[in-house]
Amino acid sequence: GESVGLHLPTLSVQEGDNSIINCAYSNSASDYFIWYKQESGKGPQFIIDIRSNMDKRQGQRVTVLLNKTVKHLSLQIAATQPGDSAVYFCAEGYYGGSQGNLIFGKGTKLSVKP
Amino acid sequence: DAGVIQSPRHEVTEMGQEVTLRCKPISGHNSLFWYRQTMMRGLELLIYFNNNVPIDDSGMPEDRFSAKMPNASFSTLKIQPSEPRDSAVYFCASSLERGNQPQHFGDGTRLSIL
């Protein structure tokens, strides 16, 4: 029979616009969160991380927001560029006893239109 | 700085053959992770090591899969015998153990079992 692939949510934005990618995490005990970017043919690349004692953290053109009340994480990309086209993964971790294990989300595909 | 280095980048072999994937983590990192990525299941953790010791191998699918880390700068993932359903991209990642630290990924080995 025909195999069914993992259908990634897709976000399509115009070049120059801001992008917001959302992620719902599963474990209320998670205290560390990371966003990764994966381009075709490459491994996931670290973008930005945030600890649970923070609500917001900014990097270069990227901002991560954390809402622990509803277990929601978002990645905002300012002035989106064609080079931002990729699959974006959120990951959650709990360093209290797992020694570094991360749980990855399914990913969101970002497509930037020139 | 050298990132995580994986070899080979591509491997095509016939079912029943032994496959060995190799990984060199970032120098100074003492946690190493093996992941498998497929369209069907996304990114799955297979096993991770801390200070060369396997900590959690619950993600290893079957006894056909084995992983070793003989020293801090080298790890292997072996499949014997290989089957077509093992076809996937296999990633290795490394991180610093202490505190909340991101994992850094290699560019993966694309494995095709015919």
Token pair recorded at residue A20: 């917001």
* Residue found under tokens 């990924």: B105
Which residue from B minimizes the CA distance to A31?
A: B100
Query: Is the pLDDT reported for residue A1 higher than 80?
Result: no
Pairing of strands B10-13, B109-113: parallel
B43/A44 touch (CB, cutoff 8 Å), yes or no: yes
Q: At a CB cut-off of 8 Å and minimum separation 6, what does A23 contact?
A: A72, A73, A74, A75, A90, A105, A108
* Residue type at position B67: A
Distance CA B7, CA B3 (A): 13
**pLDDT tens for each residue of B90-106:** 999 999 875 567 889 99
Q: What is the pLDDT of residue B100?
A: 64
Cis peptide before B25 (omega within 30 of 0): no
Name which of A31, A32, A44 is nearest B105 (Cβ-Cβ): A44
Residue A36: its chain B contacts at CB < 8 A? 105
Q: How far is B52 from chain A (nearest CA, A)?
A: 13
Q: What is the pLDDT of residue A12?
A: 95
- A-B Cβ pairs (cutoff 8 Å, strict): 63
Interface of A with B (CB under 8 A): 3-6, 31-32, 34, 36, 41-46, 49, 51, 89, 93, 95, 99-102, 104, 106-107
Q: Which residues of chain B have pLDDT under 70?
A: 1, 98-100
**pLDDT tens for each residue of A6-39:** 578 999 999 999 999 999 998 888 888 999 999 9
* Residue found under tokens 């205290």: A31
B42/A107 touch (CB, cutoff 8 Å), yes or no: yes
CB B91 within 8 A of CB B38: no
Distance CA B87, CA B14 (A): 11
**pLDDT tens for each residue of A53-111:** 999 999 999 999 999 999 999 999 999 999 999 999 999 887 654 555 788 888 999 99
Query: Is the pLDDT reported for residue A3 higher than 60?
Result: no
Cα-based distances in Å from B28 to A45, A56, A93, B94, B102: 19, 29, 21, 9, 14
DSSP A26-95: --TT--EEEEEEE-TTS--EEEEEEETT-SEEE-SSEEEEEETTTTEEEEEESS--GGG-EEEEEEEE-T
B108/A42 touch (CB, cutoff 8 Å), yes or no: yes
